[in-house]
Structure 1
Amino acid sequence: MHQQGQSKSEPEIGVEGSDGKEDEITEMIHCEGLDGEEDVITEDFRIVELGKSIRKGDWNAVKQFFVFDKHPLDTIIEGYTALHFAILAGKYEIAEELIMMMSETDLERKTAWNVGGHTALTLVATTGITHLARCLVGRNRSLLRIGNDQGHIPVTAACAVGHKEMTYYLYSVTPPEVFLPQNGRHGSDLMWAGIDNKIFVKEIYDLKLTHLRVREILRFMCDYISTLKVKSLLNCGVVDAMFEATKQGIVEFVVELLKVSQPFIFRDNDGRHVFMIAIEYRQENIFSLLYGIHGGWKAYILNQTDGDGNNMLHLAGELAPSSQLDRFSSPALQMQTELQWFKEVERIVPEWCKESKNKNGQTPYELLSRSHAELVRACERWIGDAASSFTLVSTLIMTITFAAVITLPGGNAQDGFPNFLQKRSFMTFIVSDAISFITALTSVLVFWRFLLSPVSHGDGSVFSSKKLIILLSISLISAAAMTVSFSAALLIILQHRRWAIIPIIVMACIPVLFFVWLQFPFLVEMYLLTFARGVSFDRKMKPWL
């Protein structure tokens, strides 16, 4: 039987699942002594026929066998049950049918010791067939706790061979107490297997389960890590895992490992420490840990450069990964966050970093300008398109509200005053119309200014997001005021037909509500980013290192 997914720090744990190729399955079974009648002369003929039926995928023949011989747990050959054999042969439909026929106790039976001592679930875990694992867990949840002869429970078996979906599922259903140190090495085995196979805990956190098990796993690992030398850490993959955790923003993992072994804060293949990686991947939660470090450690971190001569401000000047930029809905917001990152790093680095040049002869400000040139152009195009669109809308509103004042509802009396001057609804009409006209005119004038102004970025200043927020707000107010003015005019004209007023007003509000629905989320996002919180740097971080 083939073995794969061997951990760097643990022995091999399982078998390779079927990939659907019949020749490979046949070869695997042949290697285990399961192929052909010549190798099984001493075996019962009917069991040999059962094995052939399973390999062919003939469920009717398999089912007929159990009608006469109700022993699904009888071994086929060399320790395999019918269920194990079906899993190895890749006949998962037959395996699922057999699972439904078997009792909870039957499902806990293992293969023989010389073929790994696997339960059906540990074997399925190594194949990556998640729906079959769900079927087994649904029948007997105790299988989640039962390990193979190497002591690997299903979730660690799946993780060790690199099946992400299977690992996440089994982790989500495995009882948390299984991973506690007092119950064995399952927690540390899972973490080590995840490190080896790049199945990281970010996705496990996303399951929104208790963090107790992860913290206990980390504590168990750290007890072991603390006994190793730095060179051993570099060789066992822990450092790579720490930097992967930094890229994904997993604070708990980074904190625990940094507490155990401070020296490898400053070690990676490119000469970048954890906080440089945090800046590069725009992980503000990891970067904020820097505020909890004081004294010589912090000064040492801030003065470091990488292998290309980049200091921390250079990295802040580089363009963020697309995965981070895509979190924001427009180039304007993307540029806003980039500038906030640059200014935050600029605030804390030593003065020499601001004029330092890397190996390409670039200062941080030059790198910021060059790396963000395309984003700036996209931002200018976006602002130009937005300004043009809002200018058109504001112009239409301004035209309509101006015409409404000239042709007042109800007309004028012989003395020149409006006929309905004394009515409250008329005053509502006049005031709201005036507000709509003035705000629309303001929007038009200032949006023209936007069309003529470039985006400022070279000096790190916030380009014009505050003005844009104000203008978008004014445009929304203008549209809302126009609707109020229209409703008031209807109330005046149809004062004797009030039954028709409400439906018309509701219909008139629909376009404005649609306009607000389209623009309001962006407005809120930009407001929060600019005025309320910006990028969430925690400058009040308590000392932790």
Structure 2
Amino acid sequence: MRIYLQGGKEFFCSKFTSKVWFKRILQYLASPIKNIYDMKITHRQAKELVNLSCSIVIGRHDQYAVWAILQSTIFRAIESGISEVIEECILAYPSIIWASDGFYLFHSAISQRQEKIYNLVYQMSSYKTFIASHVNHDTKENALHIAAKLSPPHRLNIINGAALQMQRELQWFKEIETNLVQPACKNAYNKAGKTPRMVFTDAHKDLLKEGQEWMKETASSSTVVATLMVTMAFVVAFAVPGGNKNEGSPVYLDRGAFTLFVISDAIALFSSATSVLMFLGILTSRYAADDFLYTLPKRMTIGLVFLFLSLAATLVAFSATLSLVLQDKVTWIAAPLLVITSIPVGLFGVLQFPLLIKLVYSTYGPSIFHKQNKRMIH
């Protein structure tokens, strides 16, 4: 709708413009919402299909066929990590959990590193008690021996970086060692005469070496940057902008920008020094396998956080210095400086923050092992 004004001018009604923008927003949001709805519908239909298939198979009253079909279905679901299929099969035919001597289900969940299936089966108290002391008759291996082996490549590669991959492997090993197997199983020997710890060391020696190299390269590069920050912040502290008066006090001592400069420089100095110490702690580490679980990721996280803080503080100090020097002649310098200063900080965030988030989440975030469905507890 158009409204004409005197002089031949015209403009679109604001109400019409609002409707157009509202329609565009709805079109933008409609597709993701529809995709989520379709996924939920597909998930529900898949569960109904599994239930119907189980009912048909069980209704044939052929125990051999029931075991063969459901067992094959469960094994495929383990490889794909589809815990819902396993849940429905066990609820429909509980005896299927004892397929392949009752050991294969948990053995496969651990060897395939399928935490959802592990969490699901872990809640079944009677089955968990059986697995805690069960030893495979052929290989003489218990559940901890299985957890000590290297993950399949398709599961290992979902984690970026050898150090984080090593951390995830240790998380699995510690989970089985602490919360599942009995104490006697921790030092039990398999058919090859190896304890679970020996199996873990042999299976992960290449991954451990890659993790060491990744940690050293990252720490070395970051140490160089942090050292430059320390040097620059230390020198600038004694070469204040504007110089000093005859009695030694800074010329711009009474200006607010000078206070900002001093605080920013101090933060940059102490942050970069802390970052250097953390990275040196990584470089001088013994690089034992257990260090990748908590110690090394913690040091890397602290080092990256303080390195980012020192970079931001250094740029703020630089902006405050230029503002002091040029404020009398270039009064509009503050706004461009703010924009320019934010560019390096933003680039550092884009390049390093994904790594930092992964380190924090994998080290301090929620565990991948947790209860997820109360229907399976019995």
Runs (5+) with no aligned partner, structure 2:
1-36
Distance 2:321 2:98 in 1: 70
- Aligned-residue offset at 1:499: 1.9
- Aligned-residue offset at 1:430: 0.8
Q: 2:162 aligns with which of 315, 331, 341?
A: 331
Find the counterpart in structure 2 of residue 395 from structure 1. Answer: 227
- Aligned-residue offset at 1:473: 0.8
Q: 1:300 aligns with which of 130, 155, 173?
A: 130
Q: Does 1:506 align with 2:336?
A: no
Distance 1:278 1:291 in 2: 10
Find the counterpart in structure 1 of residue 175 from structure 2. Answer: 344
Task: Render the CA deviation track for 1:212-260: whole Å, top value 9, x for unaligned.
Answer: 221221111111233445432354x431221111122211100111223
Aligned pairs (5 A) from 1:108-507:
209-227=41-59, 228-235=61-68, 237-268=69-100, 272-294=103-125, 296-306=126-136, 307-347=138-178, 348-457=180-289, 462-496=294-328, 497-507=330-340
Q: Which has more radius of gyration?
A: 1
- Aligned-residue offset at 1:397: 1.1
Structure with the bigger RCO (C-alpha within 8 Å, sep 6+) is 2
Task: Render the CA deviation track for 1:180-226: whole Å, top value 9, x for unaligned.
Answer: xxxxxxxxxxxxxxxxxxxxxxxxx9955432221221111111233
Structure 1 residues 514, 495: CA separation in 2 closer, same or farther (over 3 Å shift)? same
Distance 1:356 1:261 in 2: 34
- Aligned-residue offset at 1:292: 2.3
Distance 2:163 2:292 in 1: 14
- Aligned-residue offset at 1:458: 5.5
1:394 touches 1:444 (CA, 8 Å); kept in 2?
yes
* AA partner of residue 322 (structure 1): P
Distance 2:99 2:140 in 1: 15
Q: Secondary structure at the match of 2:374?
A: coil
Q: Secondary structure at the match of 1:464?
A: helix
Of residues 296-305 and 276-285 in structure 1, the stretch that sits farther from structure 2 once superposed is: 296-305
* AA partner of residue 217 (structure 1): L
Distance 2:348 2:106 in 1: 42
- Aligned-residue offset at 1:504: 3.5
2:163 touches 2:292 (CA, 8 Å); kept in 1?
no
Q: Does 1:537 align with 2:369?
A: yes
* AA partner of residue 289 (structure 1): L
* AA partner of residue 365 (structure 2): A
2:110 touches 2:147 (CA, 8 Å); kept in 1?
yes
TM-score between the two structures when normalised by the length of structure 2: 0.83
1:292 touches 1:543 (CA, 8 Å); kept in 2?
no
Q: Does 1:523 align with 2:356?
A: yes
Task: Render the CA deviation track for 1:359-396: whole Å, top value 9, x for unaligned.
Answer: 22111111111111111111110110011011011011
1:411 touches 1:418 (CA, 8 Å); kept in 2?
yes
Find the counterpart in structure 2 of residue 144 from structure 1. Answer: none
Runs of 4+ aligned residues of structure 1 deviating over 6 Å after TM superposition are: none
Distance 1:329 1:422 in 2: 51
Q: Secondary structure at the match of 1:211?
A: helix
* Structure in which a larger fraction of residues adopt helix: 2
2:144 touches 2:196 (CA, 8 Å); kept in 1?
yes
TM-score between the two structures when normalised by the length of structure 1: 0.58
Q: Secondary structure at the match of 1:499?
A: coil
Identity %: 34
1:293 touches 1:543 (CA, 8 Å); kept in 2?
no
Q: Secondary structure at the match of 1:419?
A: coil
- Aligned-residue offset at 1:541: 4.7
